[in-house]
Structure formats: structure tokens, C-alpha cells
Amino acid sequence: MKKYIFLITCLIFSFSFSQKKELRNANKKFNTGDVDGAYKIINSNKELLENADSKVFNNYVLLLAKILRSKESFEESYQKLKLIQSVKNLAEEVSAELQLLSSDIVNSAISDNQLESFLDASKKLYLAYTIDKNAEDYLYYAASSSVNAGDWETALKFYIELKELNYEGIVTKYYVTKIDTGEKLEVDEVQYELFKKLPKEYDQFIKEDTESKFPEIVKNIALIYNQLGMKDDAMRAVSEARKTNPEDVNLILVEANLYIDLDEMEKFKELMIEAIRLKPNDHILFFNLGVVNADQGNTEDARKYYEKAIEINPSYESAYLNLVALILEEEPEIVDKMNSLGTSRADNAKYDVLKKKREDLYRECVPILKKLITLNKDEEAIRTLMNIYGTLGDNQGFMEMKKMID
């Protein structure tokens, strides 16, 4: 009987020794960068290792998780790490491996986004967030990738989760100015504190927070609801957000844009006027009001808003282009009337009046287009001005514009 007990003990010892040996060999292969070699040993001894004692088994699972991470089987790697997350003597190693896994996942997701594999990027970023629930930024970028992939349902789910978390994504940015060149540099916090100790080389130290992403998240929830044809949910999402932030201009604009989709232009205008009250120097708000009024045929109001946008921001090219287009809207009707006239003396007199009216429209556009061309040699603006000069018989102006195009 003692002989049998001794034999069983020997077998157990031999079995255990074999398990440890194979695991050691696999670890050596992995640590020298031979991931495939390590994986081959693990696979060949899978049954042996999975029936090992808890200590060997836990180390086997940890190594397998590392191998799977290296082979970019990120989800499987995470599932393995979850099995041993509560093992005390491996806590430090597992925590470090989870950090490495999260970092590799995010880097892979960045590559996916660059390759426009947005769906893969979204899944990976959400997995990174699942690994570390404090990394809410990953959830935000997972939602963005889902939008880029056109996966509206998943994007909506992620944005709703961000909204429930009251995620704002505010980041502190640091800026310094190099004295010798006057160049403004964005730096990290460590550099910022370091450069403050070099007052002869750097000055104008600025620390500022980025805007909250919460209004954008609410906006995206509303827009996705709208995209999915769920307009009531879209309006409800914006209304709830506006109760919390009644003077948030971004939220007002989201609601205003929803009214455009609902073809309720009067309500849109009301909200835009409310936004202008809060941001009276925002040229884009005036420009948008100009567009809406132009679409509704309110030419006088549209012109007033375009001119206000230009007054606030004299470099805003779109306002110049739209203003010219607005002025020239009257031209087709004038041309039709001119073409419908006969050759009688009375008709000739009417023709002259209409011709002058048309030329007056052109003359009104000349200074606007000239200003636009000084800002940016926009080909559309140059061609329009060249045609105007041609119609007005201004050969010098015509040749100047032609030369610019040539």
C-alpha cells in the first residue's frame, strides 16, 4: 500500500513539475518577443495547464492574457484577466496588464479611425472604457466613432450614457509665449511650470479650460433621435437640457436647428433672436438668420442680417457671397421683362429703365465682391465680378479679373 501511495505522489510531483516547466518555457518565449512560440507551447499543453493547481493555473491565465493582447485579441485578453482580477498575489501584475491592454486597445482604435474603420474603433474604445470606467473620454470617442460609422443606435446608447454621467470632458490647456520669436506655444502642465521659472525666455503664461462637451452630447442625442425619425424624443432631449442650462447658446441652436427640420421657421427665428441676445457679437448667428430670412423671401431682413455679420466680422466670406446672391436675385425677373418687350418707342423706353435697374444691381455688387476678393481670391467671386464688368462695359475691370483667373 505504501508503494502505491509513493507512486501516486511521484506521479503528482511529475505532473506538477511538467506543468511548471511548460509554463516557464512559454514565459521565456514570450519575454524574448516570441509570442507565437509562447502561444504554441500554451496550446500544446492547454489541458495540462487548465488542470493545474490554482497557483499555476492563475499564472497560466495571466500569460495567456498577455499573449492574446499581443495578438490583438483584446476582448479575449480582457475576459482572461477578469478571471484572475481578485487573486491577491497577482493584483499588481494584473493591474499593470490591464493598463497595457487599455493602452494597446486605444492605439489600435486610433489606427482604425485613421483607416476609416469606424465600427471597429468604436467597439475597441468602448472596451477600453469598460476596462476603466473612470476613462469616460473613451466612451465619448466611442460614440463619435459610432456616428462616423453611421451606427446611430449604438451612438445614441453611448451618448445617453454620457449624459447620465454628466460628462463634460473639460480639459485644462496651457500656453506660453516665446519672447524672442513671439510664438505662442501649447505645452503640458509640467512644461508650463518649468517655463514659468525662465522669465527671460518665456512670458504670457495662460491656463484655460476647454468648453464643456455636455451641450454637444445633448445636441447629438437630439440629432440622432431626429435622424431616426424620433422627433418627439429629439425635442424632449433638448427641452430637458435647456431646463438645466436655459442660457446655453449651443442648446438654443440645437433646438433652433430641430425647428428647421420641422419646417417651423418662425420658431427658429425666435430662438435665433434669443441666441443673439445672449451672444450679440456672434457673426454666425446673424448670418444664419440672414439665410433663413432669404429662404422665406424676406429680402430686406436678410440683407440687414448679412450686413451685420460683415460688420462684426469683416473677414467672414460667406456673408459677402450670400449678400451678392441676395442682391442679384432680382436680376432674372428684370431680364425676363426686358426680353418680353417689343420694339415700339414705349417698349424701348421701358427697356432702358429696366437696363438701368439691372446695371444698378451690378454696381451695388461691385464693392462687395472687390472686398471679398481682397480677403480671398475666390474664383466664383472673380468670375462674377468679371461678368459684371463685362455687362457694364468696364473693360479695364474686366481685364483685371480675367488676368487673375488666367
d(CA 389, CA 391): 5
CB 148 within 8 A of CB 137: no
Please report where in the chains the cell 501511495 appears, as a residue: 5
User: Which of the residues in the chain have pLDDT under 70?
Assistant: 1-19
Per-residue model confidence (pLDDT) at position 18: 61
Amino acid 203 reads D
Distance, CA of 166 to CA of 100 (rounded, Å) = 28
What span, in angstroms and rounded, lies between the C-alpha atoms of 39 and 83? 19
Q: Which of 254, 250, 253 is nearest to 237 (CA)?
A: 254
Amino acid identity for residue 17 in this structure: F
Q: What is the DSSP string of 43-97?
A: HHTHHHHHTS-HHHHHHHHHHHHHHHHHTT-HHHHHHHHHHTTT-GGGHHHHHHH
Encode pLDDT of 390-403 as tens digits: 888 888 988 988 88
How is residue 259 written as a grid cell?
A: 425647428
Sheet of strand 172-178, all strands in order from the earlier edge strand to the far edge: 184-187, 172-178, 202-209
Cβ atoms of residues 401 and 389 within 8 Å: yes
Position 15 scores a pLDDT of: 43
Place of cell 472686398: 371
Residues 95, 96, 99: CA angle, nearest 5 degrees = 90
* pLDDT at site 3: 47
Spell out the residues 6+ positions from residue 150 whose beta carbon is closer than 8 angstroms to its own.
Answer: none
- The pLDDT value recorded for residue 142 is 97
Which residues are paired to 175 by β-bridges?
186, 206
**Is the distance from CB of 279 to CB of 247 less than 8 angstroms?**
no
Cβ-based neighbour number of residue 250 at 10 Å? 16
Per-residue pLDDT at 1: 46
- Closest alpha carbon to 358 in 396, 406, 392, 323: 392
Give the residue from 132, 126, 113, 135 showing the smallest Cα distance to 155: 126
pLDDT at 26: 79
Total number of residues shown for the chain: 406
d(CA 258, CA 251) in angstroms, rounded, equals 11
pLDDT of res. 6: 42
Give the tens place of pLDDT for each residue, 186-213: 989 999 899 888 888 888 888 989 888 8
List, in order, residues 6 or more apart from 100 with CB less than 8 Å away.
Answer: 69
Phi/psi at 377 (nearest 5 deg)? -70, 65
Residues 6+ apart with CB under 8 A from 250: 215, 216, 219
Helix axes 118-131, 136-149, angle to 10 degrees: 160
Cβ neighbours of residue 144 under 8 Å, at least 6 residues apart? 155
The span from the CA of 237 to the CA of 242, in Å, is 9
- Could you report the per-residue pLDDT of 61-105, keeping only the tens digit for each? 998 999 999 999 999 999 999 999 989 999 999 999 999 999 999
